[in-house]
Chain A
Amino acid sequence: MHTRTLAQLAEDLAAKRFSSVELTRHHLDRIESQGDALNAFITVTRDQALAEAEAADRRRAAGHATPLTGIPIAHKDIFCTADVKTTCGSRMLANFVAPYDATVVSRLRAAGAVMLGKTNMDEFAMGSSNETSYYGAVRNPWNTDLVPGGSSGGSAAAVAARLCTAATGTDTGGSIRQPAALTGVTGLKPTYGRVSRYGMIAFASSLDQAGTLTQTAEDAALMLSVMAGFDPRDSTSLEDPVPDYRQGLAEASAKITIGVPKNFFDPGLLPANRDAVQAALAVLEAQGATLKEVELPNVHLSVPTYYVVAPAEASSNLSRFDGIRFGHRAQETEDLTRYLMRTRGEGFGAEVKRRILTGTYVLSAGYYDAYYLKAQQVRQLIAQDFAAAFAQCDLLAGPTTPTPAFPLGQKTDDPVAMYLNDIYTIGAPLAGLPALSVPCGLVDGLPVGLQLIGPHFSEGPLLGAAHRFQQATDWHQRLPAGFE
Chain B
Amino acid sequence: MQWELVVGLEIHAQLATKSKIFSGASTRYGAAPNAQACLVDLGYPGVLPVLNGDVVTMAVKFGLATGCAIAPRSVFARKNYFYPDLPKGYQISQYELPIVQGGSLDIVLEDGQVKTIGITRAHLEEDAGKSLHEDFHGMTGIDLNRAGTPLLEIVSEPDMRSAAEAVAYMRKVHTLVRYLEISDGNMQEGSFRCDANVSVRPKGETSLGTRTELKNLNSFRFVEKAIQVEAERQIDVLEDGGRIVQETRLYDADHNETRPMRSKEEANDYRYFPDPDLLPVVVDSAWVEALRAQLPELPDAKRARFMDQYDLSAYDAGVLTAQRAVADYYEAVVAAAPDEPKVAANWVMGELTAALNTDNLDISASRVSAAQLAELLRRIADNTISGKIAKQVFEALWNQEGSVDEIIQARGLRQITDVGAIEALVDEVIANNPGQVAEYRAGKQKLLGFFVGQVMKASKGKANPGQVNVLLKEKLGEA
Interface residues, chain A, with chain B CB atoms under 8 Å away: 79-80, 86, 88, 93, 96, 98-100, 102, 197-202, 204-206, 232-236, 312-313, 315-316, 318-322, 324-326, 333-334, 336, 340, 360, 363-365, 368, 372
Contacts and interface: CB of A to CB of B under 8 A. Distances in A.
Please report whether the interface of chain B is mostly helix, strand, loop or mixed according to DSSP: loop
A274 B139 CA distance: 61
A233 B47 CA distance: 8
Contacts, number: 102
Nearest to B263: A336
Given A96-B45, A236-B276, A364-B271, 15 more contacts: A100-B39, A199-B47, A202-B45, A235-B279, A316-B78, A316-B89, A320-B87, A324-B87, A325-B42, A325-B87, A333-B137, A363-B271, A365-B269, A368-B271, A368-B273
B89 A235 contact: no
A372 B273 contact: yes
Interface size class of B (residues with CB under 8 A): 20 to 34
A322 B137 CA distance: 20
A340 B89 CA distance: 11
B465 interface: no
Nearest to A204: B276
B50 A235 contact: yes
B53 to A, nearest CB: 12
Contacts of B279: 235-236
Interface string B54-90: 0000000000000000000000001010101001111
A333 B137 CA distance: 10
A363 B275 CA distance: 13
B139 to A, nearest CB: 6
B51 interface: yes
B456 interface: no
B328 interface: no
A206 B48 CA distance: 12
A316 B82 CA distance: 10
A320 B137 CA distance: 25
B90 A316 contact: yes
Given A235-B51, A340-B82, A198 B89 contact: no
Interface string B414-453: 0000000000000000000000000000000000000000
B86 to A, nearest CB: 9
A230 to B, nearest CB: 12
A380 B154 CA distance: 33
A80 B46 contact: yes
A398 to B, nearest CB: 27
B427 to A, nearest CB: 87
A466 B368 CA distance: 78
B45 A98 contact: yes
B339 interface: no
A116 B161 CA distance: 69
Contacts of A199: 46-47
B44 interface: yes
A319 B80 contact: yes
A99 B89 contact: no
A197 B45 CA distance: 11
A363 B273 contact: yes
A325 B273 contact: no
Nearest to A101: B46
Nearest to A325: B42
A80 B48 CA distance: 13
19 contacts: A79-B46, A96-B45, A98-B45, A199-B46, A200-B46, A233-B48, A233-B50, A235-B49, A235-B51, A235-B278, A236-B276, A313-B276, A316-B78, A319-B88, A320-B89, A325-B43, A333-B138, A363-B80, A365-B271
A321 B42 CA distance: 11
Most B Cβ at <10 Å: residue of A98, A198, A316:
A316
A235 B48 contact: yes
A201 B47 CA distance: 8
Q: Nearest 8 pairs between A and B by C-beta?
A: A319-B89, A206-B276, A205-B276, A363-B271, A320-B43, A199-B46, A201-B45, A80-B46
B307 interface: no
Given A320-B89, A322-B82, A201 B269 contact: no
Given A199-B47, A201-B45, A235-B279, A316 B87 contact: no
B344 to A, nearest CB: 51
Nearest to B84: A324
